[in-house]
C-alpha cells in the first residue's frame, strides 16, 4: 500500500486553516507591536524602542568609523533598535547586541579581502551601551589600533568577538572585568606588530568562559598560560594556534578545565612531549597540536580519551610506534600523524581498531614518517575509511587484499614506499568510490600491478587521478585505463611498458596531465591516433590536455603539422629523448598557453619557424638542445614572461645572435653552446639581461674580444665562452661578477616550478659545459659557479681581479696564450674544485697559496713555462700525478722526477698516489650521484591529502613561513576549491 496522498477534501481544509492562521497573524502583528512599545514605554519612561543616550552613543560610534561600503546606512531615524546590527531588550529598550561582523567572510592568503570592511576609530561612547551583552566587530580593519580598554567596562558582555580585525598592541587586561563573558574571540589579528599579552592573569576574572580563541596572538612571554587557562572550569573550546607558545608543561598538579571539548594548539614551539594531563580531559573531542615541535612518543594515555574524534599531531618530531592503544579510540574519525619520525609497523593499531564494535575512522594520514612493514589484513575492518595516506614511509612488506573491502575509500596514497607485492584485481574489489590512487614507488619496481587484460575496475567511473610511476605495470600497455571515463591525471612514468601506444587515448577526453615518460614505448607520437577517423580531423583530440611528458621513450614520427589545434590547452610539452624526426611545425605557435617546451635529444632537423614565436607569450622554458636543427636563430624567439630559460645548444644553428635577443630582459639562462654561431659576442648581453645567471656560448665560432660590458651581469654564476675564436685579454672587470664573489650557496637558483591541480613539476636547468661535462641542477641542488674561457686565442695575463671570485667552483683558462704569472692569491678561491690553466705561456712559480684550495679535485698546469718547486701540502698532496705539471721544463720536485737544486732533503710523505682520470671520475660522479640526468619531474604526491586542511587558519600558518609554504597554501586553496 505505502503512502497515500491526502484526499482532496482534506487538502482543501488544510489550505483554509493555513490561510486563516496567516490572516490572523497579520491582524495580530500590529497589536503585538503596540503592546510591546507600550510596555517598553511604561517600564523605562524613555523614548519608545531606543534610549536617547544609547542612540547618541551609536551615532558617535558611526561617526568614528570609516564605512566605505555603507554598511551603516540604516543607522538613522529615531528607533536605533531597528538599525542594522543593533538589537535591544524588548522590555527595557536597552541596546543589548551590536553585531558589526563583516558578512563577507573571506580570507585569501592570510590577508583579509578589503571587502565590506568597517575601519577607523572605535568611539569611547561605546561604553555608554552599558547593557550590551553581545559585541561582534570581527572581520573588519582597525588598521593596527589597540583594543580599547573601555570594552572592559561593558560588564554585561557575554559574547565578544574582535577577531580578524587587525587589532594590534597589547590586549588590555581590563577584559578581565567582563565577569559574565562566555565567548571571547581575539584570533587572527595580524596587525603589525601582532596582538600580544604580557600575562593572562586576567582570565581568572572570566569564570563563565566556554569559548576562548586567541589564535595568532603573540603569547610568547606568558610561560604560565596553562595555569591560567586551567582555572576556567567551564571552558569547552580553546584555540591558541600560532601563538608563539613555547611552554607546554608535561604535568599539572590539578586538572581543573575538565569541560574541555576542543584543544587546539597548532603552530607553536613547544619542544616537549605530549603532556600527561591530556588523559584527564575525558570529554575531549578534538585535539590538534600539529606543527608545534612536539617530541617523543605518543603516550598510551591518549588511548584513554574515548570520546576523541579528531586527533592531529602532524608535522612534529614525534618518534616511536603508533601505540596499539590508539586503536581503542573507536570514535576517532580523523587521525593525522603525517610528517613525524614515527617508526615501527601499523598492524597493531589496525588489529586493535578491528576490535571496535563499530569504528568511526574516516581519515588516516601517516605520510612522511618511517613506518615499516605491511598493510595488515585488519585494515579491511576500517570500513568507513575515506582517506588513507601513508606516502613517503619505509613500508617494505605486502598489501593485504582486504584493502579491497574499503568501500568508502575516496583517496588512497601508498606512494613512495618499498612495498614488495603483486597487487591484483581483488585489492580493488569494492573500491567503487575511489577518486585518487597513487601507488608510485621512489625507484625500484618492487610493486607489481598484475591484472587481467579485460579488467574493468570498480572505480572506473570515479577515478580522477592515477599515479603508478615506478610500478611494474607493463610490458603491455594497461588496457583498463581505457575504462577510466573521468580520469584527469595519469602517470605511468617508468612503469616497465614496452609496447606501442594504444590508439584509444583520444577517448579520454578529460585528460589533463599525462606522463608516460621513462618507458620503452614505441610507435608514433600519441596525438596522431585518431587522424583516420573522418570527423575528428578538425576537432581537438585532447581538448583538456595541459601537461604531456613523454620523455625517454622510443617514439618516432614527427610532430604533426596541426599540433596547435590538436592540443589547444597545452602548458607543458616534453618530448625529449625520443626519436622524433622532421621539423618543428609553425603550428606550434598556436599553442598560445604553452609555458614549457622541451624537445631536446631527438632527431629534429630543419629550420625553426622564423616569425611566429612572438605569439607564445607565456613561454618561459625552451629546450631544443641536442637535435639537428639548423638555420639562423629566429629573431621572434623572445621569451617574455618571467623566469626564463633558453637552451638551444648542440644543434647546427649558424649566423649571428639576432639583435632582437636583446629584449630577453628576464632571461635567467641562455645556453647556445655547440652550434656554428659566429660574429662578435654582443655587448648588449651585458646590459640587457640583468637576471642572467647562466651564459653558455661555448663551442661556436664567436670572434673578437670579450666585451667588458659582460661584467655588469652581477647575477652571473656560469660563464662559458670556451672553444671559440675570441681574442684580446680577459677583462679586469671580471672581478665584478658579484654572484661569483659570494661564497654562500645560491638559494635562489634557476628553475621552474609548475603547479597543477593535483601535481607539481619542477624542471631542471641543465647547462652543457665545455669538454662534454654536462651538469644538471635543480632548485634543491646547488648551482655551480664556473668561468670557462678555454680553447680561445686570449692573450695577456690572468687578471689578479679573478681571485675576488671566491665562490667559484670551476676555473678553466686552458688552451690560450696567457702570459705572466699565476695570481699570487689564487688560494683565495677557496671553493675551487677544478682549476685548469694548462697549455698557456704562464711563467714564474706556482703560488704556495694553491695549497689552501681544500676542495680541489682536478688540477692541470701542464704545458706552460712555470718554474721552481711544486708546492706541497693539504689537498694538493692528494692530486699526486706528474701529468698535471708536465711540460714545464723548469718545474721541479715531486711528483715530477725532476729534483730541485739546493735543499732537496724533504721528500713528501704522500698518501697512495691516485690516477688523474680516477680523480676526474670521482669528481664528476659526485655531481651525478644525487642529480639524475636530464629532466627531473618532482611530483608532490598526487593528492596532497596532507594539505587539504580543515580551515583557513592552517593555511595562514603556512603562509607566514615563506616561499615553500606559500606554494603549499596555493596548493591547499586549489584543493579546497576543487572540493567546494
Ligand atoms: C510614553 O509615556 C510618556 C509618559 O510616561 C507619554 O508622555 C508618552 O506619550 C508615551 N509615549 C508613547 C509613544 O506612548
Ligand atoms: C522579549 O525577548 C525575550 C528574549 O530576548 C523573548 O523570549 C520574548 O519572547 C520577547 N518578548 C516579546 C514580547 O517579544
Ligand atoms: C612576540 O613577542 C616577543 C616578545 O615581545 C618578540 O620578541 C617576538 O618578536 C614577537 N614575535 C612576533 C612574531 O611578533
Whether ligand 2 lies within 6 angstroms of the CB of 37 is answered as no
Whether ligand 2 lies within 6 angstroms of the CB of 134 is answered as no
Q: Ligand 1 centre and the CA of 90: distance in Å?
A: 16
Question: Please, which residues bridge with residue 547 across strands?
Answer: 513, 572
Residues 6 or more apart from 722 whose CB is under 8 A from it?
Answer: 698, 699, 769, 770, 771, 788, 789, 790, 791, 792, 812
Residue with CA nearest ligand 3 atom 1: 218
Q: Ligand 1 centre and the CA of 13: distance in Å?
A: 45
- Tens digits of residue pLDDT in 815-830: 999 999 999 999 999 8
Do 867 and 892 contact (CB within 8 A), yes or no?
A: no
Q: What is the dihedral of CA 130, 136, 138, 141, to 10 degrees?
A: -40
Q: Which ligand is the nearest neighbour of the Cα of 245? A: 3
Across the beta sheet with 725-727, what order do the strands follow?
605-607, 628-632, 652-655, 676-680, 701-705, 725-727
Q: Which ligand is the nearest neighbour of the Cα of 88? A: 2
Residue with CA nearest ligand 1 atom 3: 45
Residues 6 or more apart from 964 whose CB is under 8 A from it?
Answer: none
Q: Ligand 2 centre and the CA of 90: distance in Å?
A: 6
3-state secondary structure of 481: helix
Q: Ligand 1 centre and the CA of 106: distance in Å?
A: 46
Q: Which ligand is the nearest neighbour of the Cα of 197? A: 3
Q: Which residue has the cell 678553466?
A: 812
- Nearest to 411, CA basis, from 429, 395, 433: 433
Give the position, in ligand 3's atom list, of the atom nearest the Cα of 218.
1
Across the beta sheet with 370-371, what order do the strands follow?
272-273, 294-296, 317-320, 341-344, 370-371
Give the position, in ligand 1's atom list, of the atom nearest the Cα of 45.
5
Q: Ligand 2 centre and the CA of 82: distance in Å?
A: 15
Identify the pLDDT of residue 233: 94
Do 611 and 584 contact (CB within 8 A), yes or no?
A: no
Give the position, in ligand 3's atom list, of the atom nearest the Cα of 194.
14
Identify the pLDDT of residue 501: 84
Q: Ligand 2 centre and the CA of 96: distance in Å?
A: 13
Residue with CA nearest ligand 2 atom 11: 90
Identify the pLDDT of residue 878: 83
Query: Which of the listed residues 169, 193, 220 should we mutate to test ligand 3's pocket, taking the one with most ligand atoms within 8 A of CB?
Result: 220
3-state secondary structure of 564: helix
Whether ligand 2 lies within 6 angstroms of the CB of 36 is answered as yes
Do 334 and 358 contact (CB within 8 A), yes or no?
A: no
Do 356 and 380 contact (CB within 8 A), yes or no?
A: no
Q: Which ligand is the nearest neighbour of the Cα of 191? A: 3
Q: Ligand 2 centre and the CA of 81: distance in Å?
A: 14
Do 215 and 187 contact (CB within 8 A), yes or no?
A: yes
Fold of 42-247: 3.80.10
Residue with CA nearest ligand 2 atom 14: 90
Beta-strand ranges (E) seen in 41-175 are 65-66, 86-88, 95-99, 107-108, 111-112, 119-120, 134-136, 159-161
Q: Ligand 3 centre and the CA of 170: distance in Å?
A: 12
What is d(CA 773, CA 792) in angstroms, rounded to the nearest whole number?
Answer: 18
What is d(CA 41, CA 319) in angstroms, rounded to the nearest whole number?
Answer: 68
Identify the pLDDT of residue 905: 43
3-state secondary structure of 53: helix
What is d(CA 736, CA 801) in angstroms, rounded to the nearest whole number?
Answer: 8
Pocket lined around ligand 1, Cβ cut-off 6 Å: 41, 45, 48
Instruction: Return the CATH architecture of domain 264-419.
Output: Alpha-Beta Horseshoe (3.80)
- Nearest to 243, CA basis, from 266, 226, 272: 266
Residue with CA nearest ligand 2 atom 9: 90
Whether ligand 2 lies within 6 angstroms of the CB of 867 is answered as no
Give the position, in ligand 3's atom list, of the atom nearest the Cα of 221.
4
Q: Ligand 3 centre and the CA of 222: distance in Å?
A: 12
What is d(CA 124, CA 56) in angstroms, rounded to the nearest whole number?
Answer: 12
Query: Which of the listed residues 167, 193, 197 should we mutate to test ligand 3's pocket, taking the one with most ligand atoms within 8 A of CB?
Result: 193
Do 373 and 347 contact (CB within 8 A), yes or no?
A: yes
Whether ligand 2 lies within 6 angstroms of the CB of 90 is answered as yes
DSSP-assigned letter for residue 168: B
Q: Which three cell numbers stand for residue 637?
A: 624567439
Q: Ligand 2 centre and the CA of 91: distance in Å?
A: 8
Residue with CA nearest ligand 2 atom 2: 90
Give the position, in ligand 2's atom list, of the atom nearest the Cα of 91.
1
Domain segments of the chain as ranges: 42-247, 264-419
3-state secondary structure of 455: coil
Q: Which ligand is the nearest neighbour of the Cα of 196? A: 3
Q: Which three cell numbers stand for residue 946?
A: 596532507
Q: Ligand 3 centre and the CA of 827: distance in Å?
A: 44
Query: Which of the listed residues 33, 38, 90 should we mutate to test ligand 2's pocket, taking the one with most ligand atoms within 8 A of CB?
Result: 90
Identify the pLDDT of residue 4: 44
With b meaning 16 or more CB within 10 Å and e meaning fewer, what string describes 178-211? beebbbbbbbbbbbeebbbbeebebbebbeebbb
Rg (CA), the chain: 36
Residues of the chain with pLDDT under 50: 1-10, 14, 17, 20-47, 108-110, 112, 529-538, 746-750, 752-765, 767-781, 904-980
Query: Which of the listed residues 38, 41, 45, 48 should we mutate to test ligand 1's pocket, taking the one with most ligand atoms within 8 A of CB?
Result: 41
Do 315 and 339 contact (CB within 8 A), yes or no?
A: yes
Residue with CA nearest ligand 2 atom 7: 90
Give the position, in ligand 1's atom list, of the atom nearest the Cα of 41.
1
Pocket lined around ligand 3, Cβ cut-off 6 Å: 193-194, 196, 218, 220-221, 244
The dihedral built from the CA positions of residue 885, 886, 890 and 891, taken in this order, carries a sign that is positive
- Tens digits of residue pLDDT in 105-119: 655 444 545 678 899
Query: Which of the listed residues 197, 244, 961 should we mutate to test ligand 3's pocket, taking the one with most ligand atoms within 8 A of CB?
Result: 244
The reported pTM is: 0.75
Residue with CA nearest ligand 1 atom 9: 41
Do 267 and 957 contact (CB within 8 A), yes or no?
A: yes
Q: Ligand 3 centre and the CA of 221: distance in Å?
A: 8
Give residue 902's region: left, alpha or beta (phi > 0; psi -120 to 50): left
With b meaning 16 or more CB within 10 Å and e meaning fewer, what string describes 347-370? bbbbbbbbebeebbbbbbbbbbbe
Residue with CA nearest ligand 3 atom 14: 194
CA angle 200, 202, 206 (to 5 degrees): 115
Q: Ligand 2 centre and the CA of 19: distance in Å?
A: 26
Residue with CA nearest ligand 2 atom 6: 90
Question: Please, which residues bridge with residue 630 across strands?
Answer: 607, 652
What is d(CA 475, CA 482) in angstroms, rounded to the nearest whole number?
Answer: 17
Give the position, in ligand 2's atom list, of the atom nearest the Cα of 39.
13
Residue with CA nearest ligand 2 atom 13: 36
In three-state form (DSSP H/G/I as H, E/B as E, the rest C), the secondary structure along 863-922 is CCEEEEECCCCHHHHHCCCHHHCCCCCEEECCCCCCCCCCCCCCCCCCCCCCCHHHHHHH
Amino acid at each position: 500500500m505505502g503512502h497515500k496522498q491526502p484526499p482532496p477534501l482534506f487538502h482543501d481544509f488544510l489550505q483554509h486553516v493555513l490561510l486563516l492562521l496567516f490572516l490572523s497573524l497579520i491582524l495580530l502583528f500590529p497589536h503585538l507591536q503596540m503592546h510591546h512599545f507600550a510596555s517598553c514605554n511604561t517600564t523605562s519612561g524613555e523614548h519608545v524602542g531606543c534610549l536617547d543616550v544609547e542612540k547618541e552613543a551609536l551615532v558617535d560610534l558611526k561617526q568614528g568609523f570609516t564605512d566605505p561600503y555603507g554598511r551603516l546606512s540604516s543607522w538613522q531615524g529615531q528607533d536605533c533598535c531597528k538599525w542594522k546590527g543593533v538589537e535591544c531588550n524588548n522590555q527595557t529598550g536597552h541596546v543589548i547586541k551590536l553585531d558589526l561582523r563583516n558578512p563577507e567572510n573571506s580570507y585569501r592568503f592570510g590577508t583579509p579581502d578589503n571587502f565590506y570592511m568597517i575601519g577607523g576609530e572605535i568611539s569611547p561612547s561605546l561604553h555608554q551601551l552599558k547593557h550590551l551583552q553581545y559585541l561582534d566587530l570581527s572581520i573588519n580593519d582597525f588598521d593596527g589600533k589597540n583594543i580599547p580598554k573601555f570594552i572592559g567596562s561593558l560588564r554585561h558582555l557575554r559574547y565578544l568577538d574582535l577577531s580578524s580585525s587587525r587589532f594590534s598592541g597589547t590586549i588590555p587586561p581590563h577584559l578581565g572585568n567582563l565577569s559574565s563573558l562566555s565567548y571571547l574571540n581575539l584570533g587572527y589579528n595580524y596587525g603589525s606588530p601582532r596582538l600580544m599579552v604580557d600575562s593572562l592573569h586576567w582570565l581568572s576574572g572570566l569564570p563563565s568562559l566556554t569559548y576562548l580563541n586567541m589564535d595568532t596572538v603573540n603569547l610568547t612571554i606568558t610561560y604560565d598560560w596553562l595555569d591560567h587557562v586551567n582555572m576556567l572550569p567551564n571552558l569547552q573550546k580553546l584555540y591558541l594556534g600560532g601563538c608563539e607558545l613555547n611552554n607546554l608543561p608535561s604535568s599539572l598538579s590539578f586538572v581543573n578545565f575538565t569541560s574541555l571539548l576542543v584543544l587546539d594548539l597548532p603552530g607553536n614551539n613547544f619542544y616537549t612531549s605530549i603532556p600527561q594531563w591530556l588523559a584527564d580531559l575525558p570529554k575531549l573531542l578534538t585535539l590538534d597540536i600539529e606543527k608545534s615541535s612536539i617530541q617523543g612518543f605518543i603516550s598510551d594515555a591518549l588511548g584513554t580519551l574515548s570520546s576523541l574524534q579528531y586527533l592531529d599531531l602532524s608535522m612534529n618530531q614525534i618518534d616511536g610506534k603508533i601505540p596499539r592503544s590508539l586503536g581503542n579510540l573507536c570514535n576517532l574519525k580523523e587521525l593525522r600523524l603525517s610528517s613525524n619520525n614515527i617508526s615501527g609497523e601499523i598492524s597493531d593499531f589496525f588489529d586493535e581498531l578491528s576490535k571496535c564494535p563499530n569504528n568511526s575512522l574516516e581519515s588516516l594520514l601517516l605520510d612522511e614518517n618511517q613506518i615499516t612493514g605491511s598493510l595488515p589484513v585488519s585494515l579491511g575492518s576500517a570500513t568507513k575509511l575515506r582517506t588513507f595516506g601513508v606516502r613517503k614511509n619505509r613500508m617494505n612488506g605486502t598489501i593485504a587484499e582486504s584493502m579491497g573491502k574499503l568501500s568508502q575509500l575516496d583517496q588512497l596514497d601508498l606512494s613512495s614506499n618499498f612495498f614488495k607485492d603483486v597487487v591484483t584485481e581483488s585489492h580493488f574489489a569494492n573500491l567503487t568510490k575511489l577518486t585518487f590512487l597513487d601507488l608510485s614507488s621512489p625507484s625500484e619496481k618492487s610493486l607489481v600491478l598484475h591484472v587481467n587484460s579485460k579488467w574493468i575496475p570498480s572505480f572506473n567511473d570515479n577515478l580522477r587521478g592515477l599515479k603508478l610511476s615506478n610500478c611494474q605495470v607493463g610490458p603491455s600497455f594497461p588496457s583498463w585505463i581505457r575504462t577510466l571515463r573521468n580520469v584527469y591525471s595519469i602517470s605511468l612514468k617508468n612503469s616497465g611498458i614496452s609496447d606501442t601506444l594504444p590508439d584509444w587515448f583520444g577517448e579520454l577526453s578529460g585528460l589533463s596531465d599525462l606522463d608516460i615518460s621513462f618507458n620503452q614505448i614505441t610507435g608514433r607520437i600519441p596525438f596522431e591516433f585518431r587522424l583516420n577517423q573522418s570527423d575528428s580531423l578538425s576537432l581537438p583530440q585532447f581538448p583538456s590536455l595541459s601537461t604531456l611528458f613523454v620523455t625517454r621513450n622510443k617514439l618516432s614520427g614527427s610532430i604533426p603539422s596541426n599540433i596547435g589545434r590538436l592540443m589547444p590547452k597545452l602548458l607543458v610539452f616534453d618530448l625529449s629523448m625520443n626519436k622524433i624526426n622532421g621539423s618543428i611545425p609553425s603550428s606550434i605557435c598556436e599553442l598560445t598557453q604553452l609555458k614549457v617546451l622541451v624537445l631536446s635529444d631527438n632527431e629534429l632537423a630543419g629550420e625553426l619557424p622564423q616569425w611566429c614565436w612572438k605569439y607564445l607569450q607565456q613561454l618561459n622554458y625552451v629546450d631544443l638542445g641536442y637535435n639537428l636543427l639548423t638555420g639562423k636563430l629566429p629573431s621572434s624567439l623572445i621569451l617574455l614572461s618571467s623566469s626564463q630559460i633558453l637552451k638551444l645548444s648542440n644543434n647546427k644553428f649558424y649566423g649571428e645572435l639576432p639583435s632582437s635577443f636583446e629584449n630577453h630582459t628576464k632571461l635567467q639562462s641562455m645556453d647556445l653552446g655547440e652550434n656554428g654561431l659566429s660574429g662578435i659576442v654582443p655587448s648588449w648581453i651585458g646590459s640587457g639581461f640583468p637576471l642572467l645567471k647562466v651564459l653558455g656560448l661555448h663551442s661556436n665560432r664567436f670572434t673578437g674580444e670579450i666585451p667588458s660590458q659582460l661584467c655588469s651581469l652581477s647575477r652571473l654564476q656560469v660563464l662559458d665562452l670556451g672553444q671559440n675564436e675570441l681574442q684580446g685579454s680577459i677583462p679586469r672587470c671580471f672581478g665584478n661578477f658579484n654572484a661569483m664573489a659570494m661564497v654562500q650557496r645560491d638559494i635562489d637558483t634557476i628553475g621552474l616550478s609548475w603547479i597543477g591541480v593535483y601535481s607539481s613539476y619542477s624542471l631542471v636547468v641543465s647547462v652543457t659545459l665545455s669538454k662534454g661535462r654536462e651538469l644538471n641542477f635543480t632548485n634543491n641542488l646547488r648551482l655551480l659557479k664556473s668561468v670557462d674561457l678555454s680553447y680561445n686565442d686570449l692573450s695577456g695575463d690572468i687578471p689578479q681581479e679573478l681571485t675576488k671570485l671566491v665562490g667559484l667552483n670551476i676555473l678553466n683558462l686552458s688552451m690560450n696564450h696567457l702570459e705572466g704569472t699565476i695570481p699570487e692569491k689564487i688560494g683565495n678561491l677557496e671553493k675551487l674544485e677544478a682549476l685548469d690553466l694548462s697549455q698557456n705561456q704562464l711563467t714564474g712559480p706556482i703560488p704556495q697559496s694553491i695549497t689552501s684550495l681544500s676542495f680541489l679535485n682536478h688540477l692541470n698546469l701542464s704545458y706552460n713555462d712555470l718554474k721552481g718547486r711544486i708546492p706541497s701540502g693539504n689537498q694538493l698532496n692528494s692530486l699526486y700525478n706528474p701529468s698535471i705539471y708536465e711540460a714545464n721544463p723548469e718545474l721541479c720536485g715531486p711528483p715530477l722526477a725532476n729534483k730541485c737544486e739546493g735543499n732537496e732533503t724533504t721528500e713528501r710523505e704522500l698518501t697512495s698516489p691516485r690516477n688523474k682520470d680516477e680523480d676526474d671520475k670521482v669528481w664528476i660522479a659526485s655531481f651525478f650521484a644525487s642529480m639524475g640526468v636530464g629532466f627531473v619531474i618532482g611530483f608532490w604526491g598526487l593528492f596532497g591529502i596532507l594539505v587539504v586542511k580543515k580551515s583557513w587558519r592552517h593555511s595562514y600558518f603556512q603562509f607566514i613561513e615563506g616561499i615553500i609554504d606559500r606554494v603549499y597554501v596555493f596548493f591547499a586553496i586549489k584543493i579546497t576549491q576543487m572540493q567546494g
